Amino acid sequence: MKILLVEDDAVARETFQAILVAQGHEVVTAENGRAAWDRWLLTRFRVIVADWLMPDMDGLELCRRIRARRRNRIPTSSW
């Protein structure tokens, strides 16, 4: 499964990424909510693991934007 991992702490991000990859997942990382938003716009992920407190855009704002975007899009096919 393709997972977007959003964590501003580099050590934590690398640790979480190693754990998820070891479980067989494809992991794309972002260092903050703004970078995660940009990546999500290009590639939709089934799962997003995000830190709560981050610079530029926190995890809550990232979730709000994704939910708002999904509510306003016209369904074309299932993910």
The domain that contains 50 carries what CATH number?
3.40.50.2300
* pTM of the model as a whole: 0.82
Note the pLDDT of residue 55.
82
Task: Give the model's pLDDT for residue 73.
Answer: 63
- Whether the Cβ atoms of residue 43 and residue 2 lie closer than 8 Å to each other: yes
Q: Residues 26, 2: contact at Cβ < 8 Å?
A: yes
Using CA atoms, how far residue 11 sits from 14, 16, 33, 66, 74, in Å, is 5, 9, 17, 26, 39
Q: How many domains does the chain have?
A: 1
Q: Work out the mean pLDDT of the chain and round it to a whole number.
A: 89
Averaged pLDDT, 51-67: 91
pLDDT at 27: 98
Q: Name every residue whose Cβ is closer than 8 Å to that of residue 3 and which is 6 or more positions away in sequence.
A: 20, 25, 26, 27, 28, 45, 46, 47, 48, 49
Residue 3 has a pLDDT of 97
Residue 22 lies in domain: 2-78
pLDDT digits 0-9 by tens, 10-46: 999 999 999 999 999 999 999 999 999 999 999 989 8
